Each structure stands twice: as C-alpha cells, then as structure tokens.
Amino acid sequence: MLFLGIYKMNDLSLYILDIAQNSIAAKASIIEIIIEENASKNLLSLTIKDNGIGMTKEIISKVTDPFFTTRNTRTVGLGIPFLKMASNLAEGELTIDSTLGLGTSIEATFKLNHINTPPLGAIEETLFLLMIHPELKDLKYNHVVDDSTFTFNLGTINSILDGVPLTEPSIMTYLKSYIKDNIINLRRTL
C-alpha cells in the first residue's frame, strides 16, 4: 500500500477512480478502462483512455511529478505519480500518450504475480461512481483474462434502462452485482 499522509492508494480501483476523475476534469465525456491479465506473460495491464482536452508534451513530461498539478486548488497531484511508483515497484512501467484536442491514454503495467502488484479492489464500486457522474456520457470497461473477456458499456445499459435512473436502488444493486460477479467468474482461471 502506498501511503502519504491521508492519501492511500492500496488497490487498482482507487487508481482508476483518481485517473478517471482527472479525465472528467479534462472535459472527457467518454472514458474507456481496460484491464488485461495474462498469466502466461505474467502481465497485468491497466489502460485508461479518454476524449478529454489532452495534454501538451510539456505537461506530459511533468505529470508524474507529485509536486506538479494543473489545478489551482492545491499544489500537488498524487494520482499519476503514485500509479507510476506502484507500477515500478511491481517491475512495470507507466506510459502516457496524449494529443491536444483528442484525449489521453494512460497505461500502467505490473508483473501479475509480483508481491507489490496492487489487488483489483472494488472495481464495481468505482465503475458505479463513474457511471453516475453527470458529465460522463459513456463509460466502457473491458476486462480480459487470458482468452476470456468481460465487457461493460454504459451506453448499452442506459439504452436498455430507457430513462430509469442508475441510482434506482434495485438497478444500482443489480449493476454492482453484475460487474462484480462477472469479474469473479472471469478471474477464476488465474
């Protein structure tokens, strides 16, 4: 677990939430989250893509510095630097690709069986928090374990619900359970 003051990042779901919040702050209306777990390659990959405003090369070069932030409400930005540190501690790396006006893609890799690789955490809770964000129009989640895939698409869910709010208690409970159960079933082979 990475710890600095009250800022704890002890599972991937928290990193996803932090990076996705950065995407929303950067005017993203669509976020795609991809988790790939490959046992034969001993590799875990987390990719978060958005259609936000993107970053300049100068900002990309600074964004992994914990004392750099584009916000004026605080003087530090810890999500990306902590994700980079977590990735490095698990013999992985962090890469950022961004184009102004088109969006950003952040990928963190980890050795799948490394002791420092963070657990997934409550992915279903993180996804639900993102689903109900008023500025997010679509959320795509792809989880691949070896040759099996679980895909979740908020646009499809909204189309099926036909105006029924995601915050309706029975819908909320069902969606979280659906995501969690599918991830558990997908990961049985690991």
Q: How many helices (H) and strands (E) does the chain have?
A: 6, 8
Reading the chain (190 residues) residue by residue, the pLDDT tens digits are 444 444 567 899 999 999 999 999 999 999 999 999 999 999 999 999 999 999 999 988 888 877 766 655 443 457 899 999 999 999 999 999 999 999 999 999 999 999 999 999 999 999 999 999 999 999 999 999 999 999 999 999 999 999 999 999 999 999 999 999 999 999 998 8
Whole-model pTM: value is 0.91
Q: Per the structure, how many domains does the chain have?
A: 1
Domain interval for residue 113? 2-189
Q: State phi, psi for 70 to the nearest 5 degrees.
A: -90, -5
Q: State phi, psi for 132 to the nearest 5 degrees.
A: -90, 5
What tokens does 89 get? Answer: 């501690």
Strands 138-145 and 30-38: parallel
CATH number of the domain enclosing 165:
3.30.565.10
Q: How far apart are CA 125 and CA 180, in angstroms?
A: 9
Residue that has been written with the tokens 């993107």 in this structure: 54
Sign of CA dihedral 189, 157, 109, 10: negative
Asked if 179 contacts 152 with a C-beta cutoff of 8 angstroms, the reply is: yes
